[in-house]
Structures are given as C-alpha cells and as structure tokens.
Amino acid sequence: MKIFDAHMHLNGGQTPDPKELLKKFEEVDVIGACLFSIDPEDPSFTFKERMDNLFKWTDGYEGILYPVAWIHPFEDDVLNKVREAAKRGVAAFKFIPDVYHVNDEQPTKVFRLIEELGLPIFFHTGMCYDFHESAQFCNPVDWECFVKYRNIRVSIAHAGFPWCDEALHLFSKYYYNGRKLQRAVAGTETTYLGYPWIKEHMITNENGEPDYVMPELYLDTTPGPSGTFREALFKNLISWCPNNRRVFYGSDQYADNYQLKYVKPALQRERDLMKRLEVPANMVEDMFQNNIKRFLGLVPRISDI
C-alpha cells in the first residue's frame, strides 16, 4: 500500500533537503507529500522567508512535493500575502484557528479570496495541546459555515479529535449534499430542482454539459485519533459514508526532521488496521493516494463523490 502524505510541516530549523526526504520516503513507500510552510506565528521569519523556504523544498519536485502556504488571517496585509502566495504557485493554504472562529469577519474575507482564487484550504480542527484556551475555536461543527460558500474545498484535520463523531456527521452532511447535486445534474433526482440553493450550484461546464460546483469538505485523518479511537473512526466512516472520495491521510511529521523510527510503525499500524477492518482495496487506495488529488484540484470534480 503506497501512501501520499497530505499533512507535513516545515519548521525552518534546517536547510531544505528534499532529496534526503525522498530517500526516506522510499523506505516507507511514501510517494509524495503536501508541505506546510513555517508557522506564521514564529516571529523569527518574515512572510517572504517563509515562502522562500517553502519553495526551496518543492522547486524541482513538482508532482511529488506540493507547497502549501500556512497563513494567519490576522497577520499584516494578509490579503496581499494570500495573492502573493498564489502567484508564486502554492497548491493550497493552511490555517490553524487558535484564536478566532472560522466564520469571524476577518477570516471570512481571507477564505472568500481563496475561494475566488480557486485553491483549497487545509484546516486544523480538534483540541490543540497548546497554552491557549483554543478548544472553543477548533470544534469541527464550526465548519458548517462553509455550506454558505458556492465553490470551495476545505479539509478538517485530525478528524476533529476528540470530536470525531461531530466531524463525521458534518462530513456526511457535505457528502450527501453532493450526492443530491450529482443526481440533480444527472436528471435522476428532481425533488430539489426548484430550490434556490440547488440552482445556485448547478452550472454548465466548458463542454456545454450540465455540471455543479459546491463547497466540499474533506476529512483529513492525520492523528489525532489513535488506538481504539482510530479504529472507531474508520469503522464509522466506512459504514456511514461507504465509497466516498473525500478522505485522506497525513502523518503530521516535519520534513526537516522526518523520523523513520516513528513513521515506520505508524504506517504499519495503519496498514494493519485497514486489513483488520477489511476495507475494500479501492477505498484504501482512494484514501491513501487518490482523494488528495481531488482535494488539490488535480482531477476533474464531476462524478467525484
């Protein structure tokens, strides 16, 4: 089972060495990764330094290492920073809502701009082991606000741990909304056709065919939940939303300090769990390799549910 690691960090502590990272990847059958730039709250780096460091990791490794800009919505001149990161070619953005709600005014301006730019957003959800009272900002239920968007892809990391049930319920809400739209476009479901919310999302694509756009919510299963919590998460996911194409995997490792002694057993546990739960091979391949490509917008969106 090959694995695409959708959730990795950079800490800026070491000189970028993508070659060395890919050598380590080979040992554990990892075929690519999304790399999140240095923490925007780290005062020792300017925005330009964060971006330069990010692209030192990914330049020349297109299609293997994907650059993701980690931004804080309250940093100075944030909208221009978002535009600049997009111009430089980031594949996505990353946010950790530690002191704000995702539907607050300022963050909403930033997310609306990213929606316009057509790029996806990796979000942290779940309780952080930090020194803030941040749990109030990270409950996945808050991500219901993205139903108001017309056309955006967002992911919720750590499956919202410890609120995995809430995360799954929210995930299924977006997933089944997508199914309704898909059936409406195919003409097999007419119940909702007169409703304004469904009209708003139905479009004609560039080939002149009926198509749809919608806010898509992906479940990023980066631990968070481990042991019996993880087993329960996958059991519920498989029974609740079988064959969905909206789940992906991440390790939360640092590219600058990729520790095989932790990665190896962690990936082995993941492979064992998939076997024990008898997850169908195509669903395993989607979760560990393919769905991230949908999230990044690398494959067509129609019929992707």
Site residues, Zn ion (CB under 5 A): 252
Let me know: does 134 contact 95? Beta carbons within 8 Å: no
Residue appearing with tokens 């992707």: 304
Q: Would you say 70 or 111 has its CB closer to Zn ion? A: 70
Give the CA distances from residue 186 to residues 4, 177, 218, 220, 303, in Å, rounded to whole numbers and listed in that order: 32, 14, 23, 29, 10
Rounded least distance, CB 186 to Zn ion, Å: 37
| Minimum gap (Å) between residue 262 Cβ and Zn ion | 14
Q: How far apart are CA 210 and CA 202, in angstroms?
A: 7
| CA–CA dist 65, 58 (Å, integer) | 5
Residue closer to Zn ion, measured from CB, 189 or 252? 252
CA angle 213, 218, 220 (to 5 degrees): 160
Q: Which of 94, 79, 236 is nearest to 165 (CA)?
A: 236
Q: How far apart are CA 59 and CA 18, in angstroms?
A: 9
Quote the least distance from Cβ 123 to Zn ion, whole Å.
Answer: 10
Q: How many residues does the chain have?
A: 305
| CA 66 distance to own-chain centroid | 12
CB of 291 to Zn ion, least distance (A): 18
Q: Which is nearer to Zn ion, 252 or 285 (CB)?
A: 252
Residue nearest to Zn ion (CB): 252
Residue closer to Zn ion (CB basis): 41 or 116: 41
255 versus 287: smaller Cβ distance to Zn ion: 255
Q: Tokens in use for 225?
A: 């939940």
Using the minimum distance from each CB to Zn ion, give the nearer residue, 231 or 252.
Answer: 252
